[in-house]
Amino acid sequence: MKTHRDLDVWKLSREFVSEIYKVSADFPKSETYGLMNQIRRSAVSIPSNIAEGSARQGNKEFIQFLYIALGSLVELETQLLIAIDLKYLKEDKNLFKKLERIRMMLIGLIRSIKKKT
């Protein structure tokens, strides 16, 4: 791996951020600094932590940041479900499939790095 830009999970999670911004754009104005903001921050946190972790010195630190990205992902999943409960979003199976794909890719990358160390 040369940089985080070479990681498919980083690429996919970065694309996912754009989708999250689009689906959250129609939230009520009252949620601008509430749930909408939190959803967007969680989404941005995923590729950001992958990138930051890849720039660290060792694999142990990289794995730690991948776990943080994974935590942001499950936080985002919960927030999306809450947005659906509140009728701010319609359930979108494709959105949740992408979220699950990113989860599996993160877990796979963590396992791969652990095997190397």
| Residue range 94-114, pLDDT digits in tens | 999 999 999 999 999 999 999
The count of structural domains within the chain is 1
What CATH number did the domain enclosing 24 receive? 1.20.1440.60
Domain that holds residue 60: 4-116
Amino acid letter for position 2 = K
* pLDDT given for residue 25 in this prediction: 95
Q: Which of 26-30, 39-43, 70-74 has the lowest mean pLDDT?
A: 26-30
Q: How far apart are CA 60 and CA 66, in angstroms?
A: 10
